[in-house]
Amino acid sequence: MKEDWQKDAEEVLIRYCGTFSPLLIASAKGSYVYTEDGRAILDFTSGQMCSVFGHNHPDILAAMEQAGTRAIHLLSTMLSPELIALGKTLSGLLPEGLDRSIFLNTGSESNEVALRMAKLHTGGFEIVGFAGSWHGMTAGAQSHTYSLTRRGYGPAMPGSLMLPAPYAYRCPIQHCQGTCDNSCLEFGMKMVDQQSVGAYAAMIAEPVLSAAGIIELPPAYLKRLKELCDERGLLLIFDEAQTGLGRLGQNFAFEGYELTPDFLTLSKTLGGGLPLATAVCSAEIEESCYEKGFIYVTSHVSDPLCAAVGLATLEILTRDSMASRANEMGTYLKEQLTALMNLHECIGDVRGKGLLLGMEIVKERKSKQPDPELGYRISEECLRLGLSMNIVRVKGFGGVFRIAPPLTVTKDEIDLGVSILDQAICNCTQ
């Protein structure tokens, strides 16, 4: 039976995500969210993957309070000291070639900027993206998103081309078994070439395809991808909405590879829970686009309050060695999940890096037959027992738990979360 608040919600809100969570959340702090009746729910999703340093981090609250006494919002052409300081701080953390930034609100927006600039700079309009990718819900970003969000909305933007993702557990060309040898990339790029009209602009990629079920791009794969992009004049856009600010064990995921992308987009984690995103490119690309009349004016571009929060998140990242912490806690969590896999036949695979891990649910391990319905039941049971987990449905395959607790998570909290997950699996499979 629905609670009164659920009935009220359905009367006044557009249902934008299927079904809303059955819990009404009153507050959040650290690794927990709290219901109105006082229940503590351990959060293994960092909110919507944004509260990377825990909910309501005191430094972020302090930055908000201090910025609120100065300026919250300005005319879009006006700049603030906070914004310039944020640009300089971010540039100082990035290598040469990632020199100029624009600060916006969401990951969709940061990808829109990168896509627009890539088209303007190259003169092309074709964008290559991965199967299973998620780059946002706005028109351009959505056109190059190949998750479960395409049907029913009419044509995508012209020039949307797709590569198979290197999903080694379920090879997209039924070739490899567990270790990608780049065959899907070579074959996929040939197929893309056959579809192209000769107007390439960019390749957009997540270092770990999250909505696709935590598919990591191996170093050798990414090196070859960059070579293929360079051969075709495709600029490489790295969408680090979920992997930036330490989550994979480096400040930025691209640091784990021997390359610098042409564009870096950050969002989610950059604001630590507030809407803040950026697109970063080289001075050369920025100058080229400026000369060609680039414009991207939105109501909240360069807002000073969010810029102050961005400064706080970068300070936390470096001061508290959050990347190292993600490595340490991620290794521990992966060990616990692997041990859990040894106890439960329905766990087909555990994968991922740092504190962005995936756990795939199957009917039985040998055949890898997917069991998304069981995954959803486990997710619901986890929530009932006090653990918030997120399961992503991989189109044509099964369900994969996307496990991403805050980087401030403790070993005791990991132990508690794994214990609840174990109990939920037992309750759903007995």
Catalytic-role residue among 268, 334, 353, 377: 268
Catalytic-role residue among 109, 126, 239, 360: 239
Catalytic-role residue among 142, 242, 250, 336: 242
Catalytic (active site) residue 43: no
Catalytic (active site) residue 240: no
Catalytic (active site) residue 402: yes
Q: Which residue has the tokens 């992009």?
A: 229
Catalytic (active site) residue 109: no
3-state secondary structure the chain: CCCHHHHHHHHHCCCCCCCCCCCCEEEEEECEEEECCCCEEEECCHHHHCCCCCECCHHHHHHHHHHHCCCCCCCCCCCCHHHHHHHHHHHHHCCCCCCEEEEECCHHHHHHHHHHHHHHHHCCCEEEEECCCCCCCCHHHHHCCCCCCCCCCCCCCCCEEEECCCCHHHCCCCCCCCCCCCHHHHHHHHHHHHHCCCCEEEEEECCEECCCCCEECCHHHHHHHHHHHHHHCCEEEEECCCCCCCCCCCCCHHHHCCCCCCEEEECHHHHECECCEEEEECHHHHHHHHHCCCCCCCCCCCCHHHHHHHHHHHHHHHHCCHHHHHHHHHHHHHHHHHHHHHHCCCEEEEEEECCEEEEEEECCCCCCCECHHHHHHHHHHHHHHCEECEEEECCCCCEEEEECCCCCCCHHHHHHHHHHHHHHHHHHHC
Task: Mark 391-430 as b/e (b = at least 16 C-beta within 10 Å).
Answer: bbbbeebbbbbbbbbbbbbeeebbeebbebbeebbeebee
Catalytic-role residue among 262, 325, 402, 413: 402
Catalytic (active site) residue 134: yes
Q: Bridge partners of 209?
A: 215
What CA–CA distances, in Å, run from 68 to 51, 299, 330? 20, 18, 35
Catalytic-role residue among 134, 170, 247, 262: 134
Q: Which residue has the tokens 């060609």?
A: 292
Catalytic (active site) residue 377: no
Angle between helices 283-291 and 107-122 (to 10 degrees): 70
The residues that are catalytic are 134, 206, 239, 242, 268, 402
